[in-house]
Chain A
Amino acid sequence: METTIRQATIGNVTVYKSEPFDPVNSYFSSFIGRRNELRLITASWISGAHKMPLNPILIGVPGIGKNRLVYEIAKKTSHKLFIFQGHEDVTAEELCVSVRFGKTSNTMDYILSPLATAMIEGGICLLDEIGKCRPKALALLVSVLDERRYIDSNLLGERIHAHPGFRFIAATNTTDINLLPEFILSRMRPQINVGYPSKDEIDDILRRECDGLNSEVDDLIDLFWVMWREHTGQLGSIAPRDALYLFGLASRLSAIGETSEYAEHGNAISGIADTFPDKGLHTGISRVHLEMAFHKLFTEPKLEIPIRI
């Protein structure tokens, strides 16, 4: 649904702004750890009379919590957060504005990208998976990241200047960092490596997720870590997303109430979300559920179709 609030005028052209992302409180209620990273981002974004804010880039493996960091800082600073999802097919113009057919015939609507919207609104723009964008597509970003702080749109024939409150951050997977061209990389500083959270932080995240379980959760967390250590040879070194998926799957297995043949209950899965309240979702996880979920997610061999030659 569109409202007039989303409309803006640039030069003499009326455009539609992108929607900001509002982290839903029930999913992103509390934030654990990452103090150094938060401080570093904040420090990079402080600007002065003769000093522009810097444009940090978060580097880390998938699921480590790069985006979550940005959500948290957006919440803390009460800035609107606009997320531009990078991928291989992004074009340079899409980075700024795109067009669609209007509601009436013979008209076109201009849709400002999340980046351009953040620039005019003075919000935060997160360019996620920047490493997946082709270098050509990133060319327009150059003027945004240096002292010019504007972006030129050929489609609009206008120049969009950044609001003083505009802040930019990008995120990429560790493996993609080398694919970024030097003209972008040199403007994206500091590079903030987002490493695996400590075991204690993961424990706290899991405790928060399993707040219906009280004392049993510590036993389950211990079990999870011994299984993880045997699987990977390490303690810690797990992305929070993986740990949460594991406990999420275990809780759903416990909800079905069966410890085996859970696939047969596939029909029941669609109803689960309605039958459980937000809190206490994880009530009832037993060791067996956790072991099954662990096997399913981490140790089960991937399905391979044998080919004989």
Chain B
Amino acid sequence: MVPEINIRGSILQAIPAIHYRSVFAAKVNAVCRHKLKRPEAIAVELGPGVTSELTSWLRELGCGKSKGILLPNMLGLLIKNRLIHPQYRRTALFLQEYYRMSLNEMPASIRNKFLNFSDRYMISLCSTDSIIEAIRCGIELDIPVFGVDLDEFASGQEKDSQIEEPKASAFNLSQYVSRNEKIAALARDPYIDQRREIVMAARLKYLMDQHKHVLFTGGLAHWTQITTLMQDSLIKPADIPDTGNPKLNIERVIIHPGMSLRFSDNFPVMSTIYEQNRQIAGISGHQEVKLPDYQIIYREIIQKATETFFGNDDGVTGEIKEAVESSHLPDLDWILSNLRLIGQRSAPSISEILEVAGGKMPEKFCKCLTKAIMDIRREWASSLQFPDLRVIAPVNGEGIETGTYHLIKTEQDGENRHVITDKEKINIKANNSEQSSENKINHWWKWTDEPKKRKDKIHFCPWIWPPCEALLYGTAARAAKITNVRVMEKESTIFEGSIGDGPDLKSTIRSIIRGENRIYVKTASFRKRPHIPDGKHPDPSVFIFSGEETAEPPHWSLLFAGSSVGDHVSDKARFREFCSDRGSAFVSTITLEQSCSVPLNLVSSVNSMSRLAGITIFGNPCINAIQGAKWLEDNDFTCCPVLSSHYSGGFESLIAYYEANHRLSISPEDWQTALILFALPYAHEQVVIIAPEHYKPSNILYKEAHQRNISLSLVPQSFFPAEKIDEMRNRYAVMPMDKDGSTFSPEVEKALGQQSTQYYNMLPLYMQKQLKTNY
């Protein structure tokens, strides 16, 4: 039985549904296949424009042909949005007044966070959604499908409501609706949804005037209000536009599996099970699509993950496996069972499974579990099948604000791989919990058809804005000037009881020849002498800034002397020989930094911005590739760590490099000690540490420095003006006009308010010469 409304002899059969839940799609399918109940027209809770586009696309995909098709999982429509909810009016005015710019000029992230606005929204072609099923049935029965909702409406704040989970094995739609429609209605937005429901009721009345038997499917939350409005004589029938809103900007896209979960039934494999059991609407019958209960799928996933984990030998010790078997797995099952109990559901949600597994199980198990969840028993829709469509994919990485996604264009390369040719950052509405699950999925699971990075394309990398480097290195040079180098010198002294470092034979023999008859011994002593940095063979320096609690945890980052230094060295044969022997990625700085959002006025000029927590500089700012080449040649390429390539694994490779080449086991957790340890092997005489007054290097550092005969010179930060210290912490990455990083556009200089040569005068003279073009 399905809920019905009778008006003037016409019947409206309704499937009020929870989106993406397959039991409701199965009901739509059953009604359409039933000889007596089969509708003359179908209405769905979508706008006319979107419905028309979906109908065309489903036809193109093969729906309606005598032989059924499996709907790819998952495709979607990306639709332009123009509307902001009126509840944000005051905030919108405030933002415009504060930033002195109109809303369209503001970054998407601000509009998203402050105004709950994203300029696109997504509709998925999820086969378990009752609306998609209704459109498919309409095509297969060759009856008209109408979108009765508004094409455009603003989104309000999402509200949670705990609705009873529909159980496939014992599902009665009418009873389910009567039990849950009022609870579901609590999630409505009174302003937006009321308008939509009035329009839907008016259009449904119009359809019922035209057709005796109409099937409608839409959100359960709207059903109570729609039934009331349908009885309201003030709501007059309203015509439905044929083509919808021509201003709608709709793009067909492939939805990355990592973000498809929010458009799926409880488990993504349900789409395949539904597709395999679904009957074409044109074939009459009484049998409904057979669907398993979620609990069965959940058990299968846990079973599969456990089998993979225990059947896999790579990198998991027997001890860990034993702990998983004896304690972790039962505990995981226990907590998930309890969560089911609390949530009154037969199976936990994917986000709950991942959350609990993340806090309880070893990483390897989490990977096996995610693999089992993402196994849909067929291929995910990809660029291989739909080469013309762009892929909407989550953005990986730290510091990504909620709702940010990539829209990726791909093309096939010579190796039959789909490589990225273009990437656009867009903002789509997403809540924290959706994005948190997506992050976990993308962390533990890799899509085999993930669009690849292009190999052959020469990347034109951004460079650090030269004044940032010049200020930092100039300050380091000044700090080096005021320090005294503590050097160990050996001298000969008369033996007075202590053998010191052994007898000095030369001095003793000379003494005997002179008739003094004294025995001389060698002794070592430390002396301090002033240090004059020459700029040619500079020593490394370390900046440690006072730690500040920030939202974003700092991350390690490496900067290289330039990927094109090879073009500028004079002895190219020596360079090639060195690179083939040792590697070609010369690390010029190691930083611990926090990513920051680029200020609004710099968005068009600055690629990214970070704030330093600490930095190790190996002596030369490498402001451009030419200067980098000169520095490396002056020091026979041995003045900094060298990794095999610029893509060789980043910070982890660097740690391994120090372990292998310098026998230094560096722990990134103690970042201040780590920064200084990085510098030690490349120092000639000293490492200058510019740090807050209270900073004291650890004993390990003094021990290592002593073994290498290097002095650690501490210069307090307060020696330098506070505003300069603050300024040098900001690092702007900007795009130069050439790959060597030698020239920058005047627009960048204007936006940043300083010339690219600012602070060059702070550098040692030799370095300034390196930067002159005719050097």
Q: Does B90 contact A (CB under 8 A)?
A: yes
Known contacts A198-B432, A225-B114, A218 near B90 by CB under 8 Å: yes
Kindly report which residue of chain A lies nearest to residue B546, judged by CB atoms. Answer: A302
* CA gap between A39 and B162 in the complex, in Å: 13
Contact B331 A54 (CB under 8 A): yes
Contact B355 A40 (CB under 8 A): yes
Query: A44: which B residues are within 8 A, CB to CB?
Result: 335, 338
Known contacts A193-B359, A230-B599, A235-B114, A223 near B718 by CB under 8 Å: no
Segment at the B interface, from A66-74, A91-99, A132-140, A183-191: A183-191
Q: Closest CB of chain B to A195's CB: distance in Å? A: 8
Main secondary structure of the interface of B (DSSP, over half): helix
Query: A200: which B residues are within 8 A, CB to CB?
Result: 157
Query: B165: which A residues are within 8 A, CB to CB?
Result: none
Contact A218 B160 (CB under 8 A): no
**Which A residues contact B (CB, under 8 angstroms)?**
35-36, 39-40, 42-44, 46, 48, 51, 54, 61-62, 178, 186, 189-193, 195-196, 198-200, 218-219, 222-223, 225-226, 229-230, 232-238, 301-302, 304-309
* CA gap between A55 and B157 in the complex, in Å: 35
Contact B669 A40 (CB under 8 A): no
* CA gap between A229 and B355 in the complex, in Å: 28
Between A and B, how many residue pairs show CB distances below 8 Å?
121
Contact B719 A307 (CB under 8 A): yes
Kindly report which residue of chain A lies nearest to residue B336, judged by CB atoms. Answer: A43
Q: Does B733 contact A (CB under 8 A)?
A: no
Query: A190: which B residues are within 8 A, CB to CB?
Result: 331, 335, 356, 359-360
The 9 closest A-B pairs by CB, nearest first: A237-B551, A233-B596, A43-B338, A233-B597, A190-B359, A191-B359, A235-B113, A46-B338, A306-B718
Q: Closest CB of chain B to A43's CB: distance in Å? A: 4
* CA gap between A39 and B328 in the complex, in Å: 19
Kindly report which residue of chain A lies nearest to residue B594, judged by CB atoms. Answer: A233
Q: Does B334 contact A (CB under 8 A)?
A: yes
Which of B95, B339, B341, B399 has its CB near the most chain A CB atoms (within 10 A)? B339
Query: A301: which B residues are within 8 A, CB to CB?
Result: 722, 726
Contact A35 B551 (CB under 8 A): no
Query: A226: which B residues are within 8 A, CB to CB?
Result: 95, 98-99
Query: A305: which B residues are within 8 A, CB to CB?
Result: 693, 718
Contact B94 A308 (CB under 8 A): no
* CA gap between A234 and B432 in the complex, in Å: 14
Query: A199: which B residues are within 8 A, CB to CB?
Result: 113
Query: B328: which A residues are within 8 A, CB to CB?
Result: 189
Q: Does B609 contact A (CB under 8 A)?
A: yes
Query: B609: which A residues are within 8 A, CB to CB?
Result: 233
* CA gap between A61 and B431 in the complex, in Å: 22
Contact B335 A40 (CB under 8 A): yes
Contact A189 B482 (CB under 8 A): no
Query: A193: which B residues are within 8 A, CB to CB?
Result: 358-359
Q: Does B343 contact A (CB under 8 A)?
A: yes
Contact B597 A234 (CB under 8 A): yes
Q: Does B110 contact A (CB under 8 A)?
A: yes
28 chain-A/chain-B pairs, Cβ below 8 angstroms: A36-B355, A42-B338, A46-B338, A46-B341, A54-B334, A54-B335, A61-B549, A178-B669, A189-B331, A189-B359, A190-B331, A190-B356, A196-B551, A200-B157, A218-B90, A218-B91, A219-B90, A219-B94, A222-B90, A222-B91, A222-B114, A226-B95, A233-B609, A234-B401, A235-B110, A235-B114, A237-B551, A306-B719
* CA gap between A233 and B398 in the complex, in Å: 13
Query: B660: which A residues are within 8 A, CB to CB?
Result: none
Query: A48: which B residues are within 8 A, CB to CB?
Result: 334
Contact B552 A234 (CB under 8 A): yes
Query: B358: which A residues are within 8 A, CB to CB?
Result: 193
Q: Closest CB of chain A to B512's CB: distance in Å? A: 47
Kindly report which residue of chain B lies nearest to residue A175, judged by CB atoms. Answer: B669
Query: B356: which A residues are within 8 A, CB to CB?
Result: 40, 190
Query: B90: which A residues are within 8 A, CB to CB?
Result: 218-219, 222
Query: B331: which A residues are within 8 A, CB to CB?
Result: 54, 189-190
Q: Interface readout for B109-136 with A: 1 if CB under 8 Å, 0 if not? A: 1100110000000000000000000000
Q: Does B550 contact A (CB under 8 A)?
A: yes
Kindly report which residue of chain A lies nearest to residue B109, judged by CB atoms. Answer: A235
Query: B355: which A residues are within 8 A, CB to CB?
Result: 36, 40
Query: A42: which B residues are within 8 A, CB to CB?
Result: 338, 342
Contact A222 B716 (CB under 8 A): no
Query: B550: which A residues are within 8 A, CB to CB?
Result: 232
* CA gap between A208 and B342 in the complex, in Å: 28
Q: Does B323 contact A (CB under 8 A)?
A: yes
Query: A236: which B residues are within 8 A, CB to CB?
Result: 113, 402, 551
* CA gap between A233 and B342 in the complex, in Å: 38
Contact A235 B669 (CB under 8 A): no
**Residues of chain B in range 393-443 having any CB-CB distance to chain A below 8 Å:** 399, 401-402, 431-433, 436
Contacts beyond the supplied A191-B359, A307-B693: 6 A-B pairs with Cβ under 8 Å: A40-B339, A43-B342, A190-B360, A232-B552, A234-B551, A309-B716
Query: A191: which B residues are within 8 A, CB to CB?
Result: 359-360
Q: Does B476 contact A (CB under 8 A)?
A: no
Q: Does B184 contact A (CB under 8 A)?
A: no
* CA gap between A178 and B482 in the complex, in Å: 39
Query: A54: which B residues are within 8 A, CB to CB?
Result: 331, 334-335
Contact B718 A307 (CB under 8 A): yes
* CA gap between A199 and B432 in the complex, in Å: 10
Query: B110: which A residues are within 8 A, CB to CB?
Result: 229, 235
Q: Does B14 contact A (CB under 8 A)?
A: no
Kindly report which residue of chain B lies nearest to residue A234, judged by CB atoms. Answer: B551
* CA gap between A232 and B401 in the complex, in Å: 13
Query: B431: which A residues are within 8 A, CB to CB?
Result: 198
* CA gap between A222 and B726 in the complex, in Å: 27
Query: B552: which A residues are within 8 A, CB to CB?
Result: 232-234, 237
* CA gap between A189 and B328 in the complex, in Å: 9
Query: B335: which A residues are within 8 A, CB to CB?
Result: 40, 43-44, 54, 190
**Residues of chain B in range 68-107 having any CB-CB distance to chain A below 8 Å:** 90-91, 94-95, 98-99
Contact A304 B596 (CB under 8 A): no
